[in-house]
Structure 1
Amino acid sequence: AALPLGTHPQQAMHEAIVAAAEAVNRLAPEPGGAMEHDQHRHQNAPACTIVGSVVAGELLVVGWIGDSRAYWIPDDRGGPTARLTEDDSWAAQMVSAGLMNEAEAYADERAHAITGWLGADAYELDPHTASFKPDRAGVVVVCTDGLWNYAEGADELARVVPADAAARPLHAAQVLVGHALDGGGHDNVTVAVVPFAMPRQGAGSAYNKA
């Protein structure tokens, strides 16, 4: 709703995540209900992670909270692939602080404990957004850890994404879900594939993060 009004896509993504957080917060039991006597009613409040992507002309925007991820996969596979998000997780914090390398952090049993999420029991609402101007056509894969546990690196994921993903995004998402299920399917597997086509005038490279 915000984009047709002229809102910058990155700001619109931020506002959408805030709106989503408010919707999840409303799922927590309200005072006056069956749990009114429970001073800790938010301890078991519904919660989730979120990741999304918007294509607006030459701009590609992603937004997230938690450990669901977005990956950039160029159509020609000749350009660089990339993970566009940074996890809100114990492992990511350890790596960012320089206390562990990535292999050590993700081998720890606490690796996937998330440090950011949507829900009434969240510590604080801290939406992350990033915008890009890719220099070629491609697709964005947005997914839960139920997929990326089985194809964590961007290059590894690119080998699973069908070559015609931009033309058949739903089929590509189904292939990726199948890959996770074939690998064991030990967690929620949610995947969307968003095509990005180059504007006619072309675009340079840019990156902004908030």
Structure 2
Amino acid sequence: MKPDYELLVRGNNLRLKDDFLGMSNVTLIQGPSGPILFDTGGYISRLGLLKALDARGLKPADIPLVFLSHLHFDHAHNVDLFAHAEFLVSRREWDYVGAPHPDDLLVPWGIREQLSKSRVTLIEGEGQIDRGIGFFPAPGHTPGCFAIELDTERGTTVIAGDAIKYAKEAILRRCDMAFDEIEVGTATIRNILDRADRIMPGHFPELVRLPDGNFVWDEAAPFELMVR
């Protein structure tokens, strides 16, 4: 059996004039040994995440493993819902959030303390989680960003997190928001584009490779806003 995946929370790259409105994608991976959650989203996604799990007959307690691409608030809030699980976090990211870039205001306070209530495995370099499920460093947006690579029936899929946040970065093949170095993020983007048939960005619909090597997206990204 090859791994498969689906979006639980559909992200977007919306923003206000001076602040972020965007939500991150939260992806459920079905591996040979069980489910893996890629990121947990922000508080804005909390109820939607629980509803999406429930629609699939799952509760947070049914998720044994959570992979955190990095530790920004919109990707790593809600970790308390999965306090029973094992968390995979890159060692470099763990160290980074102890002393983040002075312009990086996106690290939630107390994130290491919250995660330390659970079992945290710090990862380095490339490695395997399960058959057909690997991880690799994807620095740039933060120094410790990591991505997951899946060998699926639909080809090689990279769940990129904010290593590729939205289509603009894939089209221009250049990072445009880095708390590491822009050049480091750009090298990561080009690596992902070279190795993937499909890409799940951090804040955009899935990208699919065309025969000419360019990437496109087929799905819209609806944003339902209710005023009360």
Task: Give yes or no for TM over 0.5.
Answer: no
Q: What band does the TM-score fall into relative to the shorter chain?
A: under 0.3
Larger strand proportion of the pair: 2
Instruction: Give the TM-score of the pair, scaled to structure 2.
Output: 0.24
Greater Rg, structure 1 or structure 2? 1
Larger helix proportion of the pair: 1
Instruction: Give the TM-score of the pair, scaled to structure 1.
Output: 0.26
Which structure is higher in RCO with an 8 Å CA cutoff and minimum separation 6? 1
